[in-house]
Structures are given as C-alpha cells and as structure tokens.
Structure 1
Amino acid sequence: MRNARGSTIKDRPKFFSDGFCLFSDRDLNEVRTVVQAFIQNAEGLYVCRCNPPGATYIVVYAPVYHDLGGRDVFRKRKSRGRLNRKTIQRKPMIPRLVNHPAPVVSIIIPAMNEKATLRGVLREAGQVHPRSETIVVANGSTDGTAEVAEKCGARVIRTAEPLGHDVGRRVGAEAARGSVLLFMDADMIIPARELRPFVESVLSGVDVALNGYSGPVNLKDTHPVVLAKHALNALLSRSDLTGASLTAVPHALSRQAAEQIGLEALEVPPLAQVKAILLGLNVRAIHTVPVGKLNPVRGRRRENGKRHDPLTTLVVGDHLEAVHWLISRQGLRGGFGDLGRQRSKVR
C-alpha cells in the first residue's frame, strides 16, 4: 500500500515535510505509544483512523522539519493565527462624560495626582444619574490628572497648590449646580450601583446620607479614628449611627442641607456632621461601602521606632475641633445634665 507521495508505508513512521506519517493497520493507542517512543516530547499529536475502500490505515499529524543531516525531526506545531505579527497595543478607552445643562446631581471629586485611577472613577460616576454633572477639583496635581479629567468630559477646577480633599470638597460644592451633592474620592473606583443609594435617599427626603462603614471594632487595639467616630456620635446622642461619619466617602447631602450647615464646614467633616445633627436635619447611614479595604495607605512613616500616620492625626484633630464647637454651643457638658449635683455650693 502506498501513500499520496508514492512512498511505501512501513511500521516505522516515515515523516514528510508537510507534517504527517502513515501507519498500516494498528490500534490507535499503540500508534500513539510508538510515535512517542520514536519522537522525544511528542506533544499535541493528532491521531485518526482512515477507512477508504479496500484499506485501513492510521494517520498521525505532527509538525516536522528536516535538519542539515537529512533527518526528520519533530517540531511542535505553531499557531498559524498570528505568525510574525506584532501584538497590537491599544490605548485604554477614555469614558466620555455628559454634563447635563440642568443637573439634578452634582458629583464632586477632589483629586491630587490620581491619574492612574481617575478614568475608572469617572466611568462609574457617569452612570450614577442621567441628569448629573461631574466636577473634578484638581488641586496641586503634577501628573496630568486635570488633563485626563478634561478629556473624559468632566468640569475641571484647577488650583496650583494642594488644598487637601476636604477643602477640595468645599470648592466643588460652591461650583455645583445640582440639588444633590455626591462626594467621592479619586483614588477609589466604586461601582455606580454602590453610589446610587446615596443619591436616591437624598432625592427621597434624607438631608445627609452617610456611608454606614464604621471600621473594624473587634481588634485588640482599635484604631483611633474608629474610636473618634463612635465617640462623637455618642456625644451627639446618635449611637444608632455607630461609626458612620462624613469623614468617609461616598456620602451625599442635599443642597439645602449643605447651605444650612455652611459650605465652609465641609472643610472639617466631623464639624459639618455635628452642625447637621444639632440643626435637626435628617442624618442617616444609608448604605455601607467598605472603603477601609479600598483606600490606599499613604504617608505612613516611623518616628521613634513607632509607625506614624499623619492622616490619623488629621482626622482625630477634626473630631476634637467638632467636640470643641459642640461644647461652645451646648456648655461644658455638651448638653448633658449634672444629675442635681450642687457643686457651686461648696466653691
């Protein structure tokens, strides 16, 4: 029996440059064993039985090439899909925002050197509400953050000097035109579905919609910021809020509430929260976004062998400033009674 090239078929495989060999009538498994014994590392072989009229044989397809000695040597089959083609590298698509001329929701995003995550943040922001505007307060950025925001279609407010996120929120709120103010950070990509509950609650009548994230409280050493948040809410007789705070994004305020509190108070989030509660505004923890796991750790350094986090110092100081304002309005006991103790009688 002869193959298509006219060569006699023998038990020992005969390889051709088109990469196949023929066997006379044998078992398929036996053929595979013979081939693997004959060829080292014979991987990816394709074995099939052919039954043309009056004959039976097995075809083994395998890539081969001829070396200089005239011998047929096994070669793994290469993909023919993209031979000798360079991989096409495409630039990441930039989401294009549409700022509504009469926005219901103003999304305010302070940003300083957040080019790496800003595209993703803006992509989600653009899906929060059909009538929205997105304001990026690019303060002190040197990495092209402002340029990325502009290419994405956001309203951009630039300042040459770093302002800090809280001051940036005030600047954005002053420029906002919507009846709902939603505050985000540019270093955390939070899905739009996690942002909508804050907007929907304000549209339904809530004045201040807080992130319900309270931080870890079951640790041996509770973080000072977590303690400060819980303590401040307890002083305000709002233990139901646990550790929910305007310190944590995302959160939302109605424009009316922001104006009652005073936009300048947004520079110190715990102070804004104290003012909102004392004014009798509807302050509620609406939805929990675990930002503790999303927020990148920055600026930590060691002093006297101990780890020091300047952000912790800032946030705890903000809570002390809020307590000071509370005492200045409510008295030395912050509005709590003295249970009839007549201390003035013995002075």
Structure 2
Amino acid sequence: MSLKQRKRTSARRSGRRASQAVRRNLRPQQQPAEALPAVNHPEPVVSVIIPAMNEARTIAAVIAGARGVHPRCEVIVIVNGSADNTAEIAHRMGAKVITFPQPLGHDVGRSVGAEAARGDILLFTDGDLVISAAELRPFVEAVGSGADVALNDYSGPVRGRIAHPVILSKYTLNVMLGRPDLNGYSLTAVPHALSRKALTALGSAILSRPPLAHARAVLDGLKVKAVHKVPVGRMNAVRRKEDGRDLLQEVILSDHLEAMGLLLERRGERAGYSDAGRRREMVR
C-alpha cells in the first residue's frame, strides 16, 4: 500500500470514529442533562407528568427532554416507592416532585400528576423512557391544534405468529368502539397527551385505568387521534414474572374487560351491533 493510500485509509477511519463519537453524544442517555437545570414556568401551557420509581439512572434525561416541548412548561414527577435518589435528582432539575414512600401501583401516578397539573395540555410519559423533545412535541402540537386525546401511533409488536394478549385486547376494544382506524393505539401506551377539556370530562381518577379512560373518551365524543409513533416497546426493560405469571399483563387485561363493561352499559348488551334478524323466540 502506497503512502497516499495509507493516508486515505487513516483519514476514513478517523472520520468514522468522529462520526461515531458525534452520534454517541447525540443520544439522549448521553446528554449532560443535569448541567442544564430549569424551573417550572409560573403559568404553564403544558404540564408533563412523569411517574417514576427507582429511576435515578434516567430521570434527569427524561426531564431534560420534557422541558423542550414548550416554552411555558411545567414538569411534575411522581416519585413512589423509590429506594434511590430519583426524587433528589428531579428536585435538582427543577421539577415539581410529589413523593410517596410506598408504590402507588400501575398508572396511579398519572392520576396524581393530572390532579396537580395546571397546564391546558397534559403530556404523559414515564421515568424510565428517555425520549427527546422532538419526539414528544407532536403530541403537544396535536392537542394545541384541536385534538382532545393525542395517542402514540404504536400498537406494539404485531408480526408474531401468536398475538400478544395486550395487543389483541387493544385492537378488539377499538373495533368494538367503532374505531378500527385506531388499530392497537390506546391510552395504555405513553407518550400521549390530553386537553384540559378531556381531563375535565373524564376526571383524573380514571387515568389510572387507561383502557377505561380510552373507552370513555371515544364514547363521550372527544376528538381521539393517533398522531406520532414512538416505539416504546423497545425502550422498556423486560418485566420480571412472579411464579410464571405476568401480573402487569393481568392488570392491563382486566382494565380492558372493565372498558368493555362500560361499552355494554352505554350501548346495550350487543354494544349497538345488530342481531341480524335472528328469531330467537322461535327457539325452545
């Protein structure tokens, strides 16, 4: 290899190393989030609600991403059952921190945060999901443009030979609600956003049962739309099962049954679907 060729090869390698370094520095996990603390705006337009339990590793970057969704923003972190310094980090980042010594249970932090929120737009995410402001902003913009419920355009893994029970439940609920266009999109998945109008109509308590809140939003005629895809399934850690049971999956499935119950209560025992002229009285 000639001297000139060796120089070209060396330059290409250096360029690749530099590009890789830049990409590493742009990853949300690598951003020096704690170097840029801020305070909540005194008159927020957007309230970002972040439940967190033992998320000291990610919470600073999560808050940093949330801060960038709007110039007038407040960040509310609901720290529950934490044994680490999640709350202290969130305080240093300028968030409003609501702490509970015990775990609240799945999605209860959403209700607590919504109750404390002052913004006209409520954006929900989680303390273990590092999502950039650019990926969060479409949900805020959709509500600002007239949507009441802005959903994550993400159904979960759908290419498996056997459908995952949670994914199947979300698809089924949307079909029964008359919204097959929503596929498997649901308030079950974050990020998503609500208008103040939606919060007033639904109430904060129901947000801890996302499928029920989703069904209520559709049944009450709120403007529900999927606006942006954030593939959060790839970001979530694998859940530990107890005695072979996935307790979180059981909670989500039972929430969907409750949502189906509301649908039957509102639209009748066949949820408004026809019996196709069956003469049931002729059957003994």
**What's the counterpart of residue 36 of structure 2?**
95
Match for 1:315 among 240, 246, 252? 252
Which structure features the higher share of helix residues?
Answer: 2
**Which residue is 1:269 aligned to?**
210
| Paired position in structure 2 for 1:152 | 93
| Corresponding residue number in structure 1 for 2:5 | none
Q: Which ranges of 4 or more aligned residues in structure 1 deviate by more than 3 Å?
A: 91-95, 344-347
The percentage of aligned residue pairs carrying the same residue is 56
- Which whole-Å CA distance do the structure 1 matches of 2:62 and 2:205 have between them? 25
Q: Match of 1:255? A: 196
Q: Is the Cα–Cα contact under 8 Å of residues 49 and 123 in structure 2 kept in the other structure?
A: yes
Cα shift readout 1:174-210 (whole Å, capped 9, x = no counterpart): 0000000000100010111000000000000000000
Normalised by the length of structure 2, the TM-score is 0.86
- In structure 2, do the counterparts of structure 1 residues 109 and 92 end up closer, same or farther at CA, with 3 Å as the change threshold? closer
Aligned partner letter, 1:283: V
User: Where does residue 275 of structure 2 map in the other structure?
Assistant: 338
Distance 1:93 1:103, change over 3 A: closer
Matched, 1:122 2:59: no
Matched, 1:161 2:102: yes
- CA–CA separation in structure 2 for the residues paired with 1:325 and 1:283: 18
Alpha carbons 1:125, 1:134 under 8 Å: kept:
yes
Label 1:92 to 1:263 Cα distance change in 2 as closer, same or farther (>3 A).
Answer: closer
Deviation of the 1:139 alpha carbon: 1.1
Alignment of 1:163-312 (within 5 A): 163-303=104-244, 308-312=245-249
> TM-score w.r.t. structure 1 length?
0.70
Separation (CA, whole Å) in 2 of partners of 1:302 and 1:95: 44
Deviations 1:107-158 (A, max 9, x none): 0001111111101101111111100000001111111111111111100111
Judge conservation of contact 1:173–1:181 (CA < 8 Å) in 2: yes
Q: Is the 8 A contact 1:274 1:322 kept in 2?
A: yes
1:338 alignment partner AA: D
Instruction: Determine the C-alpha separation between the residues in 1 that align with 2:203 and 2:223.
Output: 16
- Residue 302 of structure 1 deviates from its aligned partner by 4.7
SS in 2 for 1:115: coil
Cα distance, 1:234 vs structure 2: 0.6
- Larger Rg over CA atoms: 1
Tell me the SS of whatever aligns to 1:285: strand
Whether 1:326 and 2:263 are equivalent positions in the alignment is yes
**1:143 counterpart residue number:** 84
How far residue 313 of structure 1 moved from its aligned partner, in angstroms, is 1.3
| Residues 107 and 125, structure 1, Cα contact 8 Å, conserved in 2 | yes
How far is 1:342 from its partner?
2.7
Change (3 A) 1:92 1:336: closer
Q: Distance in 1 between matches of 2:95 and 2:154?
A: 28
Counterpart secondary structure, 1:116: coil
Gaps of 5+ in 1: 1-90
Could you say which structure has the higher strand fraction? Answer: 1
- How many residues in Structure 1 have an aligned counterpart in Structure 2? 254
In structure 2, the CA distance between the partners of 1:92 and 1:186, relative to structure 1 (3 Å rule), is closer
Alignment of 1:104 onto 2:45: yes
Q: Secondary structure at the match of 1:289?
A: coil
Which of 73, 76, 81 matches 1:132? Answer: 73
Q: For residues 272 and 158 of structure 1, what CA distance do their matches in structure 2 show?
A: 24
- CA–CA separation in structure 2 for the residues paired with 1:177 and 1:273: 22
Mapped to 2, the partners of 1:258 and 1:135 lie a distance apart of 16
Whichever residue aligns with residue 121 of structure 2, its letter is V
SS of the aligned residue for 1:170 comes to: helix
1:107 aligned partner, one-letter code = V
SS class of match (1:157): strand
Cα RMSD (Å): 1.7
Separation in structure 1 between the aligned mates of residue 48 and residue 101 of structure 2, nearest angstrom: 22
1:204-241 CA-to-partner distances (Å, cap 9, x unmatched) read 00000000101122211221111111111011111101
Q: Within 2, Cα distance between the matches of 1:324 and 1:97?
A: 44
What amino acid does structure 2 have at the position aligned with 1:130? Answer: P
Higher relative contact order (CA 8 A, sep 6+): 2
C-alpha separation between the residues in 2 aligned to 1:176 and 1:281?
20
- Shift of residue 283, structure 1, vs aligned partner: 0.3
Gap regions ≥5 residues in structure 2? 1-31
